A = this chain, B = another copy of it.
Amino acid sequence: MQPSLDTVFAALADPTRRAILQMLLEDDMAVTDVADPFEMSLAAISKHLTILTRAGLISQEKRGRVKWCKLEPDALKSASVWMQGFGQFEPVNLDAFEAFLERELGTPAND
């Protein structure tokens, strides 16, 4: 199943999963280390990570017996673009926004 708006938004709807994403913003982490600050079983965290992976929000790579989790922030792009359609509160079109990014950063906005 490739990530859809359904799966992305559903993945974001859980506070544990959002907290995990924010932790991964710092650095890649092993599953055990992700689970550490939470007061729930490792198996539960493992499930959350599976959901995040299926939503495309993270990727997991096994090196040795350690499975590393890595943020994949591009998955947020589709959701972000969808929300920008509600331009009434953010009255800017994507073209102008990308142009802004290019001016500010000197790099194309779409990778």
Footprint of B on A, CB under 8 Å?
5-6, 9-10, 12-15, 18, 21-22, 25, 71, 73-74, 76-77, 79-80, 82-86, 88-92, 96-97, 100-101, 104-105
Q: Do the beta carbons of A25 and B104 come within 8 Å of each other?
A: no
Q: Which of B6, B22, B85 contacts A25 (CB 8 A)?
A: B85
Count copies of this chain in the complex.
2
Interfacial chain B residues near A21, Cβ < 8 Å: 86
Main secondary structure of the interface of A (DSSP, over half): helix
What separation, in Å, do the CA atoms of A71 and B88 have in the docked complex? 10
Q: Do the beta carbons of B14 and A6 come within 8 Å of each other?
A: yes
Interfacial chain B residues near A18, Cβ < 8 Å: 5, 82
